[in-house]
Amino acid sequence: MDIPLGIHVGERLSLEQTYWQAEYADRHGFESVWVAEGRLARDGIVPAAIIASRTRDIRIGTGVVNNKSRNAALMAVTFKTLDEVAPGRIILGIGAWWEPLATKVGEPLVRPLAAMREYIGVLRTFFRNEVVEHEGEFVQMRGVRFDSMYRENKPVPMPVYLGAVGPKMLRLAGEICDGVHLDFLLPPDYMDMARARIAEGVARRTDGAEGIDITQIVACSVNDDDPQEAIDACKAFLTLYLMQQPHIAEHCGVEPELVERIQATARWPATPGDVRRAMVHVPNSLVQRVTACGTTKDAYEKLLAYREAGVRCPVISTLGDKERTLRSLTGAAS
């Protein structure tokens, strides 16, 4: 491929589509497949394990699991197990959960930066195969490590990528992680701020690392016969995000008034009908600013724009006709 590409699979796909896309990406030289887990729709670990068993070369990351719903010891041993399935190919992508869902399930976001720092620090100790002693505000571990009763334990070389959007979380990623996995709907010029904050974090490191990897999910839809149909597929997705995760708006250049008009139509959880009614407020220009959509040429040039802005590996998330979009962008990149 001319540039490294990843593929993002999640609850919008059936399991059949999920496995087909992952295996297709493996055969066609994609670098990574990222399995989403955000909504209460589908667990991310089970599909990741099945993808790991069905593929040969592609790296498998979680894009992302959260640090609220799994105990840190369970998270560590889960990824140790995934590494047994696909040695050297697993990436632990982790992020803070989102509101109001976190509160609705009894895990409200409280001091998310401090909580994430503790959690990742404990994971790192587990992966070094050391005894974990940690009495923190959010994580408590007392003399535990990977169990060695049945097999010899060794350190697990597990890359940790932080799903970050805001400047403080980006800075934390630069300081303690191997990479940052950026979210949908952030325009290429967002990278100016993101790279500066990541660099501030890298400057605080004590391990000698001079930088971290940057990947970003990019919503993509392609239709060479009817480009507006592809744009509308991304427009519906952007409308849903602005409805339910409005914090993204400040980073993608959306006026507060537009968010208010959209949210006046429906709030969480929105129905497909709510989205259709609200998306009339969203202009094509905004959609094309934060997604890769329209013709194959339009979409691929947008992926290149993310790459030029500093995203090492754009991660395709297919919308609209998903198979057509994936095949078209694969052909453009080959």
- Name which of 218, 233, 221 is nearest 307 in CA terms: 218
pLDDT score of 191 more than 70? yes
Question: Is the pLDDT confidence value at 299 over 80?
Answer: yes
Rounded mean pLDDT of 7-25? Answer: 96
Contact of 161 with 61, CB cutoff 8 Å: yes
Give the least confident one: 91-100, 198-207, 318-327.
91-100
Cβ atoms 33, 51 nearer than 8 A? yes
d(CA 63, CA 145): 26
Q: Do residues 287 and 197 touch, judged by C-beta distance below 8 A?
A: no
d(CA 333, CA 91): 24
pLDDT at 152 over 90: no
Q: pLDDT category, 253, cuts 50, 70, 90?
A: confident
pLDDT at 271: 83
User: Taking residues 124-136, what's their average pLDDT?
Assistant: 97
pTM across the whole model: 0.95
296-309 vs 190-202: helix axis angle to the nearest 10? 30
The yes-or-no verdict on residue 96 having pLDDT over 90 is yes
What is the average pLDDT value for the chain, to the nearest integer? 94
6-221+292-333 CATH: 3.20.20.30
Give the contacts of 90 (CB within 8 A, at least 6 positions apart).
48, 52, 59, 60, 61, 79, 82, 83, 158
pLDDT (mean) for 155-160? 97
Determine whether 181 is exposed, middle or buried from the number of CB atoms within 10 Å of its CB (0-12, 13-18, 19+): buried
**Is pLDDT of 250 > 90?**
no
Answer yes or no: is pLDDT of 230 > 80: yes
| Integer Cα distance of 100 and 106 in angstroms | 10
First to last CA, the chain: 5
Q: Please report the pLDDT score of residue 100 as a whole number.
A: 82
Q: Is the pLDDT of residue 267 over 70?
A: no
166-184 pLDDT, tens digit each: 999 999 999 999 999 999 9
Average the pLDDT over 38-42 and give the result: 87
Average pLDDT over every residue of 121-143: 97
Whether pLDDT at 247 is above 80: no
More confident residue, 195 or 249: 195
Burial of 179 (0-12, 13-18, 19+ CB in 10 A): buried
Single-letter amino acid, residue 315? V
Cα 320 to Cα 13, 236, 269, 317, 334, distances in angstroms: 11, 10, 21, 10, 22
**Region 99-125 average pLDDT:** 94
pLDDT grade for 33, boundaries at 50, 70 and 90: very high
Question: What does the pLDDT read at residue 75?
Answer: 98
Residue 260's pLDDT band, with cuts at 50, 70 and 90, is confident
Q: What was the pLDDT predicted at 148?
A: 84
What is the rounded CA–CA span in Å between residue 153 and residue 145?
10
Give the domain ranges of the chain: 6-221+292-333
Rounded Cα distance, 76 and 96, in Å = 17
Residue 118 pLDDT > 80: yes
Which residues does residue 222 pair with via DSSP β-bridges, in sequence order? Answer: 294
Percent of the chain with pLDDT over 70: 98
Determine the average pLDDT of the residues in 144-161: 93
- Residue found by looking up tokens 């587990």 in the block: 126
Chain-centroid distance, C-alpha 283: 25
